[in-house]
Structure 1
Amino acid sequence: MKKIVISLGGSILVPSLESNNISKYVDVLKELSKKYQIFVVIGGGGEARRYINVARSLCIDEATSDELGIMVTRINASLLAWALGNYAHPCIPENYTQALSYAESGKIVIMGGVTPGQTTDAVSAVLAERTKADLLINATSVDGIYSADPKKKPDAEKFDKMTPDDLIEIVSGGRMNAGSNNVIDLVAAKVTQRSGIPMVVLQGTDIDNLKNALISGEFTGTTVSYSKEKPLPL
């Protein structure tokens, strides 16, 4: 069975207290789990950043602030796991070894952050490497990778395909403090470079786009790969 790691932004899963996309992801993940071994890594989103900002206002150091953010990622992971019921492993892994162990159940494995200073994008990339995944999907707040932040620069160029080397050039200026919020962080890009595992970056709020990517290979987003072949469908 093919293995897929999905990096899912916390702000995609739970945009606000008034709305969430949990039920939509539950439906899609249940369907996909019949064909693939699924791993999902959930970010902390805006809620984690709010807690981290409070911690900073109290002069709490960055490493400890990161620990606070990791707690929020695990709350988000628990929400999704509980909503999936028997389709997901009931425990949230706190490290990669546990994730590999839980995968032996054949159920969807969902986790959050692992280590201070490491974003959930990086966790996803390392998890993909550890599990020898066939594909890494980054479901984020933008519809692909751009030459600059499209929210700040409307004329930024969007890339349909690039190599991991190209990606590193784009993200190398990203900041790495607690709660950083770049499309992909540098650590994740470098792990993707060394593993050679294809990565797809797409907008996580478009659930049908994610589903179509895995079923038909037709999607809107950016493919990061050394191969000239299309990574999807698997």
Structure 2
Amino acid sequence: MLIALSVGGSILAKDLSPESFRAYAEVLKSLAKEHKLVVVTGGGVAARDYIRIARSLGANETESDYIGISITRLNAQLLITALGDDAYPEPPCDYKEAWKALSSGKIVVMGGVIPGQTTDAVTAIVAEYLQADLIVIATSVDGVYSADPKKDPNAVKYKTITAKELVNIVISTEMKAGSQSPVDPLAAKIIERSNINTIVMHGADPEKVADVIMQESIGSTSKEVHLGTRIVG
């Protein structure tokens, strides 16, 4: 299977601890024995901090996006360093470069690409371009909810939804540099049109991310309630 994995910066680069990068690297190495992997890293708190400062200095949204992209690529480079020889040595700058990098047989790690696209959108687009079998979005929330659970105590977590339902849920997300949402509107639309099965889950424990991918590879959904939210075409 070809897996497109989005790892949120708030998960991977939390407190900029090397242990998080090492833990993900070990799990990715294990997965790569059976699957092809393209990993897209987010920017997390550092990116949002830099974007906030950039705005205060007068940067527009495109300029702020470029700053955020730089941080995502730094996180990608740190993960590449942790992976060592198992990773393609540089983060691809675009989707065609990602395709060429994948042909190396190594784990491909990349960050953002162009302004206006979150790293979740990058993951969805690279998955579509490379015809991936599965998208996994490992983020700081445990799935997709009917509303923001931090603001609405009555928010309901979905176990399974269609891609069209996902679009309707996230369509009100503000498209600004550094925006936070389990899945942004562009990513949701790409998932809808590509019809690639997708899972949104909490990514703090890379071993659980690996478990989800291995379950999907054998077609098992017995632990669906623990996976987060499954998005189907």
TM-score range, shorter chain: over 0.9
Summarize the alignment of residues 100-179 of structure 1 with structure 2, pairs less than 5 Å apart.
100-179=99-178
CA RMSD of aligned residues (A): 1.1
In 1, are the aligned partners of 2:199 and 2:227 still within 8 Å (CA)? no
8 A Cα contact 1:13 1:20, kept in partner:
no
Structure 2, gaps ≥5 residues long: none
Q: Tell which deviates more after alignment, 151-160 or 76-85.
A: 151-160
Which residue of structure 1 aligns with residue 209 of structure 2?
Answer: 210
Greater percentage in helix: 2
Deviations 1:20-66 (A, max 9, x none): 51111011100000000000000111100000000000011110111
Query: Does residue 9 of structure 1 match 2:8?
Result: yes
Q: How big is the shift at 1:17?
A: 3.7
- Distance across 2 between alignment mates of 1:105 and 1:207: 24
1:28–1:57 Cα change, 3 Å: same
Indicate how the Cα distance of structure 1 residues 185 and 96 shifts in structure 2: closer, same or farther if over 3 A, else same: same
Structure 1 runs not aligned, ≥5 long: 227-234
- Are 1:82 and 2:81 an aligned pair? yes
- Which amino acid is 1:161 matched to? T
Partners of 1:18 and 1:106 lie apart in 2 by 28
Q: In 1, Cα distance between the equivalents of 2:161 and 2:228?
A: 11
Q: Which amino acid aligns with 2:167?
A: I
Per the TM alignment, residue 18 of structure 1 is displaced from its structure 2 partner at its CA by 5.2
Point out 4+ residue stretches in structure 1 off by more than 6 angstroms. none
For residue 223 of structure 1, give the secondary structure of its aligned residue in structure 2. Answer: strand
CA drift of 1:207 comes to 2.1
2:25 is matched with 26
Matched residue pairs, number?
225
State the identity as a percent. 47
What's 1:229 paired with? none
C-alpha spacing 1:128/1:203, structure 2 compared with 1 (3 Å): same
- Give the drift of 1:19: 6.7
TM-score (ref. length: structure 2): 0.94
Contact 1:128 1:136 in 2 (8 A): yes
Alignment check: 8 A CA contact 2:65 2:115 kept: yes
- CA shift, 1:208, in A, is 2.5
- Any idea what SS the aligned residue of 2:138 has? strand
Q: Secondary structure at the match of 1:117?
A: coil
Q: Which SS does the other structure have where 1:123 is aligned? A: helix
**Hey, what's the Cα distance between the residues in 2 that align with 1:97 and 1:160?**
34
2:8 and 2:17 map into 1 onto residues whose CA distance is 17
